[in-house]
Chains A and B, each alone.
Chain A
Amino acid sequence: MIENQNTHEAHAHSYGIYILVWLGLLALTVVTVTVAGLNFGALTVGTALLIASVKSFLVLKIFMHLNVEQKVFKVFVGVALLFIVISFALLFADYSFLRV
């Protein structure tokens, strides 16, 4: 096996997991639309973002192959997401206490 190159393995690759994830994503879409109809008050945005995050996690892990990718990919994605979270935290640390 040549390092760092895609090679063709003898065993067949399975379609099943992708279809399963797709069904999960559609189900979560139904959940997020249904939940939006209910009134959770301040929790509504949080619920919507939580469901969107779960959906993104599934896409990243299975569709984008992070589950089988080398560790460095996971670290890179983790760092990128961490900086987005930090930026949002700093942004709202500021705006939450803004008096206009």
Chain B
Amino acid sequence: MSDIQSAVPAQHVHRDDVGSRMGVWLFLFTELILFGGMFFLYSVYRFMNQDAFHLAAKELNTLIGTFNTAILLTSSLTIALSIVAIRNDNKKLSIFLQLITLVLAFGFLVNKFFEWSAKFQHGIYPGSELLLAKEKGEILFFGLYYVMTGLHGLHVIIGMCVIGWITVYTIKGKINKDSFVKLEGAGLYWHLVDIIWIFLFPLFYLIT
């Protein structure tokens, strides 16, 4: 260590990375309650309207759903790798991987936009005449579909904001090889968004 560095008094930094991560996990548990409640609702309505759910699910585009699953899984990989990169002191790669995550997240939303637009054009949207004319179970299916994938989409948007903010921090050097807990927290949130989609996908797109 150089003389200049050693002359600087050791800074006393109050930092508890384990505590910070635990804080994020506790927040994720509240998210689990939020989505859990909706999964309860879904399971009971599906149990009571099995045939109608199967019929309604045929309207959904399995291909676009599968594609979005792959996109979200890949974005989960890139955010996880960006943590490895910053730990290896490879700032440029970490920033690049965070930006790729943002691009993939945006791609997910673009797909979602086209998917919903197609539904709207076919006259299937909450409260539409065509939908209300359908059987009760099908109305419930599409209600749950719009609320659950909509809320998930909102989480994707929030996740993008958080990751964008983290990327700025990384560029500024506030997130670096010795202090990257903020990036870890954003990553944890993003992985939860991914896990929720892992369950939404088969429950809405793969009922045949």
CB of B146 within 8 A of chain A? no
CA distance A73 to B184 in the complex (A): 15
With known contacts A8-B177, A19-B77, A22-B73, A84–B195 Cβ distance under 8 A: no
From A8, A59, A80, give the contact of B87 (CB < 8 A).
A8
Q: Is there an interface contact between A95 and B18, defined as CB atoms closer than 8 Å?
A: no
Q: For the side of the interface on B, what is the size category?
A: 35 or more
CB of B191 within 8 A of chain A? yes
CB of B124 within 8 A of chain A? no
Within 8 A of A (CB), among B23-62: 25-26, 29, 32, 36, 40, 43-44, 47-48, 62
Q: Cβ of A49: which chain B residues have Cβ within 8 Å of it?
A: 199, 202
* Binary per-residue interface labels of chain A (16-51) against chain B in the complex, 1 for a CB within 8 Å, 0 otherwise: 001101100110010011001101000011001101
CA distance A13 to B181 in the complex (A): 16
With known contacts A4-B17, A8-B178, A29-B66, A48–B206 Cβ distance under 8 A: yes
For A, the interface residue count at a CB cutoff of 8 angstroms equals 50
With known contacts A6-B179, A29-B70, A76-B25, A91–B43 Cβ distance under 8 A: yes
Chain A residue with minimal CB distance to B29? A80
> Which of B's residues lie within 8 Å of A, judged by CB?
15-19, 21-22, 25-26, 29, 32, 36, 40, 43-44, 47-48, 62, 66, 69-70, 73-74, 76-77, 80-81, 84, 87-89, 177-181, 184, 187-188, 191, 194-195, 198-199, 201-203, 206-208
In the A-B complex, the 5 residue pairs with the smallest Cβ-Cβ separation, listed nearest first, are A48-B202, A36-B206, A22-B77, A4-B18, A8-B177
> Which of A's residues lie within 8 Å of B, judged by CB?
4-8, 12-15, 18-19, 21-22, 25-26, 29, 32-33, 36-37, 39, 44-45, 48-49, 51-52, 55-56, 59-60, 62-65, 69-70, 72-73, 76-77, 80, 84, 87-88, 91-92, 95-96, 100
5 additional contacts, CB 8 Å, given A44-B208, A49-B199, A77-B25? Answer: A8-B87, A15-B84, A32-B206, A59-B76, A64-B187
